[in-house]
A and B are shown apart, each in its own frame.
Chain A
Amino acid sequence: MKVVVIDYGMGNLFSVRRALEVSGASDIEVTADPSRLAVADRVVLPGVGAFVDGMAGLNAGGFVAAIHAYVAHERPLLGICLGMQMLMDDSEEYGLTAGLGLIPGRVRAMARVGLCGARRKLPSIGWAGLRPGVSGWQGSVLADLAPGQPMYFLHSFHAEPAQAQHLLADYHYDGVPVTAAVRRGNVTGTQFHPEKSGPAGLSIVQAFLVG
């Protein structure tokens, strides 16, 4: 099985690669060449940074059409953090920027106001327990996790899927739900970092490789 990690200059690629290796992937290619997606069985879209820079990187690298072609062939794609946000239609970070449009919805700044009007700190940094979305998470990369399993988050913006069934999981930040994972068919995205969420996070990477 060939796993391709997209290198568009925006990710913690080393940790993602190591997480794939210890999760059993033997043929991993980290590449800036979009034509490599044609021979991939799994694709990971990592990312740290601003949405506008991320999309500029994907566009400049010629990845947008390649990602759409890959997904159209019903093969699994995993977006992580910014990589997850770019799956959506657009983002309002530094002005409105179009995303990949693989999952309907928008990326928005998280509200500074928490439960009961109290101000809360941003970025949201730390370990928070996952809660299944309305459709549950059976058949997804989260299937083997118990509800409430903590994962590591580090973000100020979050995705708001237009359709509730695309919300795979959320978490509560000061009483307000925040999107933790999205899924539409073979496309999955996690706002949290599975490669930085200990053994439970690595089990998600493993599920992505096996599933």
Chain B
Amino acid sequence: MPPRLIARLDIKGPNLIKGVQMEGLRVMGDPYDFARRYYEAGVDELLYVDIVASLYGRSKLTEVVARTARDVFVPMTVGGGIRSIDDVTALLRAGADKVAVNTAAVANPDLISQVAKRFGNQCMVLSIEAKAQAPGKWEVYTETGRERSGMDVVDWVQRGIDLGAGEVLVTSIDHEGMRKGYDIGLIAAVAAVAEVPVIASGGYGRTGDLAAALTAGADAVAVADALHYGRTTLAQLRAELGGAA
């Protein structure tokens, strides 16, 4: 499959926000406006993540997803605060195609199997927030980068896929919002063990970063603030991907 270009929209309540290393949140505007603009510019997929939902145990994301799905006809992956099959059902009925699960999957790995069995493994995206511990070692974090899990990222990727995850979204906490490129070592370590597609997220800064992520083994790349702030365009990113594929 050709590499996919994904626009990542982090949500807090009704707003698109952008943080740095998952902190220092800044409100960007109405996520619908951004999503629609990216759709019209030819984005391959959208990724919505409610970054405070897991803290409070509930998500208002369904409304944002449904509003977007009215006018946006590309796939949407949605994450943040998903804890049950009912949560997944509600999001899919609102127009989501895949769900990304992090905190609840760590707390209850069986949820991965339940979602995969009910909706197919193509629907179950294992979302991993990773923080470097030592050269070649990354730890899984939950609660939007706030809580340590004690688990090794590569071990968790393998286990998650065995349980039924059909895709892995790997976000580097260290690189998120830093504009210095993706964590290439992390992506390579994950891609080496993943027999499912891998989405690289966190750190896009400049031309060449997408190619580096793909070379490391990513099947898709997520770009957030570089698009939201207009530092780049989907056309420019597409050209970069075309040159790399």
The interface of chain A, by Cβ under 8 A from chain B, is 12-15, 18-19, 22, 48-50, 53, 82, 112, 119, 121-128, 150, 152-156, 173, 193, 195-199, 201-202
Given contacts A12-B97, A49-B118, A125-B219, contact A154 B195 (CB under 8 A): no
Q: Please give, as numbers and ranges, the residues of chain A lying within 8 Å of B117 by CB-CB distance.
A: 50
Q: From known contacts A123-B121, A196-B75, infer whether A13 and B93 are also in contact, taking CB-CB under 8 Å.
A: yes
Q: Which of B2, B73, B98, B197 contacts A197 (CB 8 A)?
A: B73
Q: Do B118 and A121 touch (CB < 8 A)? A: no
Cβ contact within 8 Å between A154 and B197:
no
Please tell me if the beta carbons of B196 and A121 are within 8 angstroms of each other in the complex: yes
Residue B203 CB within 8 A of the other chain: no
**Interface of A, helix, strand, loop or mixed by DSSP:** mixed
- B74 pairs with A152, CB closer than 8 A: yes
A13: chain B residues within 8 A (beta carbon):
93
- Which residues of chain A have C-beta atoms less than 8 A from B204's C-beta? none
Q: Evaluate whether A156 and B120 lie within 8 angstroms (CB atoms) in the complex, with A121-B195, A121-B219 already known.
A: yes
Q: Which B positions have Cβ atoms within 8 angstroms of A? A: 1-4, 39, 42, 44, 66, 69-71, 73-75, 92-98, 117-123, 166-167, 194-197, 219-220
Determine whether the beta carbon of B39 is less than 8 Å from that of A198: yes
A residues near B194, Cβ cutoff 8 Å: 121
B220 to chain A, nearest CB (A): 8
Question: Across the interface, do A125 and B95 meet the contact criterion of CB distance under 8 Å?
Answer: no
A195 to B97, CA, bound (A): 11
**Is B2 a contact of A126 with CB atoms below 8 Å?**
yes
Q: In the complex, which residues of chain B have a beta carbon less than 8 angstroms from the beta carbon of A49?
A: 118-120, 123
Q: Is the CB of A195 within 8 A of B197?
A: no
Say which residue of A12, A112, A156 sits within 8 Å of B121 (CB atoms): A156
Whether B120 and A48, one on each chain, are in contact in the complex, defined by CB atoms closer than 8 angstroms, is: yes
Cβ–Cβ contact B39 & A193, under 8 A = no
Q: Which residues of B contact A12 (CB under 8 A)?
A: 92-93, 95-97
In the complex, besides A119-B195, A123-B122, 7 extra interface pairs with C-beta distance below 8 angstroms are A18-B69, A18-B70, A121-B194, A125-B167, A126-B1, A197-B74, A198-B74
Which residue of the partner chain A has the closest CB to B196? Answer: A121
Residues of B within 8 A of A82 (CB): 120
- Supply 9 A–B pairs (Cβ within 8 Å), ascending by A: A14-B66, A48-B92, A112-B195, A125-B167, A126-B44, A127-B1, A152-B44, A154-B98, A155-B120
Q: Is the Cβ of A127 less than 8 Å from the Cβ of B122?
A: no
Name the distance in Å between B167's Cβ and chain A's nearest Cβ: 6
For B39, what are the chain A residues with a Cβ–Cβ distance below 8 Å?
A: 198
**Closest-CB distance, B6 to chain A (whole angstroms):** 11
Considering the chains assembled together, what is the distance between the CA atoms of A156 and B120 in angstroms? 9
Which residues from chain A contact B196 at a C-beta distance below 8 Å? 121-123
For the complex, give the distance between the alpha carbons of A209 and B92 in Å: 25
Interface residue from B73, B94, B95, B122 paired with A156 (Cβ < 8 Å) = B122
Contact call B122/A125, Cβ cutoff below 8 A: yes
Chain A residues in 8 Å Cβ range of B120: 48-50, 82, 123, 155-156
Q: Are B121 and A202 in contact (CB under 8 A)?
A: no
A119 to B42, CA, bound (A): 30
Contacts of B122 in A (CB 8 A): 123, 125, 154-156
